Amino acid sequence: MKAFVAALLFAAIVAVGVSILLNTIQQPSSVAFTTEGVRVGDPGHNLIGPG
Amino acid sequence: MASFGRFIRLAVGACAFLLVIAASAPCNAQQVNPTASSVKEQQLLQELNRIQGRVSIPDQRSGVLEQPAGRDWREFHNVTLRWIGGIAILGIIAVMVIFYLTRGMVRLESGRSGRTIVRFTAFERFVHWMTATCFIVLAISGLNITFGRPLLLPLIGFEAFSEWSQWAKYAHIYLSFPFTIGVVLIFLMWIAGNIPNKVDVDWLKRGGGIVGHDHPPAYRFNAGQKAIYWIVVLGGGAVAVTGYALMFPFYLSGIEGMQLAQVVHSIVAVLFIAAMLAHIYIGTVGMEGAFEAMGTGEVDLNWAREHHSLWVEEEQAKGQAPSGGTPKAMPAE
């Protein structure tokens, strides 16, 4: 039982840790693809994503 | 003299008039179509397998106007994959139900001895359960991606399905990391016991004892378990590699590579699910005394003798198992 609980805990910790890491490293596409010449606008609030 | 002059003027005027007429008439003998040898759309499509050009948008992939292979991929994604997945998963469930109703649970024929032998250490069980629980969530969330819209959405409606799918997607992406760690650890931990050998050939020839009451000898892992091991390592490796290619789009390839990654990821995944359903069956309902191996880590000595006799001999030689003992059941007192 201990091994099982430890397994669930470890999986959850890794998953949360990776989500924090990736959200720090990656940019939303509206930010990543914007240049001086092209502004890719705010995708709005009816799409899945940050904000 | 004046009439002659009038005649000359008339003649010259008529000639000039005729010249103008002749010069302005279209030249029928050599008509040139200026676009005759220019490239047509069909020709371009056949030669390049796509129609693309130059764009000023930062995302250069927007320069692809037509990619006909994408239509074949869409047919696979929407139709073929759902057939393959449905047949594989429903098929294996049907086979297991029929097998259980006809063969029943594989019983411990000599009864419990009351003495146990350690089969899996705490670390081995930890790795197995981490990989297994991640697999369950990945399987359900992955099946939602393929079957959710046609099967689940009509039942629970758009709002609920959208909320559920959002969480399922995050779970799928983030739990892939502990799952991959688990697959790597499983590969390293158990590679030594899962190399196929002659004992496995004999075990398979005797059907593994699954039909009838045979008990072919086996070491720590029998041929069926070795098959599961390699399915997990190779299948898990395949879904991990293609999964990360899909998770980080266009980091490794163009659109054809992404389509190929999705094809491999989805087919391996549904077959993987079918195989794991069989693994779960045999480890729980299918065989008496099997679950304890991963549950507590210790199995009954008689169980080990019946199903992994060569492994028990090895453990007894190492002094890690109780030696001797009667294979008969002890009467209850």
Q: Which 8-state DSSP code applies to residue B195?
A: -
Cβ neighbours of residue B254 under 8 Å, at least 6 residues apart? B61
Q: In angstroms, rounded to a whole number, what is the distance separating the alpha carbons of residues B189 and B127?
A: 9
Distance CA A37, CA B123 (A): 55
pTM, two decimal places: 0.82
Cβ distance B178 to A48 less than 8 Å, yes or no, reads no
Domains contained in chain B, CATH given: 119-317 (1.20.950.20)
Interface of A with B (CB under 8 A): 2-4, 6-8, 10-11, 14-16, 18-19, 33, 35, 37-38, 48
pLDDT tens per residue, chain B (333 residues)? 678 888 898 989 888 888 887 776 655 556 888 888 787 777 777 777 788 889 887 778 888 888 888 889 999 999 999 999 999 999 999 999 999 999 999 999 999 999 999 999 999 999 999 999 999 999 999 999 999 999 999 999 999 999 999 999 999 999 999 999 999 999 999 999 999 999 999 999 999 988 778 999 999 999 999 999 999 999 999 999 999 999 998 899 888 899 999 999 999 999 999 999 999 999 999 999 999 999 999 999 999 999 999 999 999 999 888 876 544 455 565
The full 3-state SS of B250-277, as one line of letters, equals CCCCCHHHHHHHHHHHHHHHHHHHHHHH
**Token pair of A20 as six digits:** 């924090």
Chain B environment of A38 (Cβ under 8 Å) = 56-58
Q: Which residue is listed with tokens 């195989």?
A: B275
Count of pairs with CB atoms under 8 A, one residue in A, one in B: 51
Region of B323 please: left (phi>0), alpha (psi -120 to 50) or beta. beta
Which of A5, A9, A10, A45 has the most B C-beta neighbours within 10 Å, making it the best mutation to test the interface with B? A10
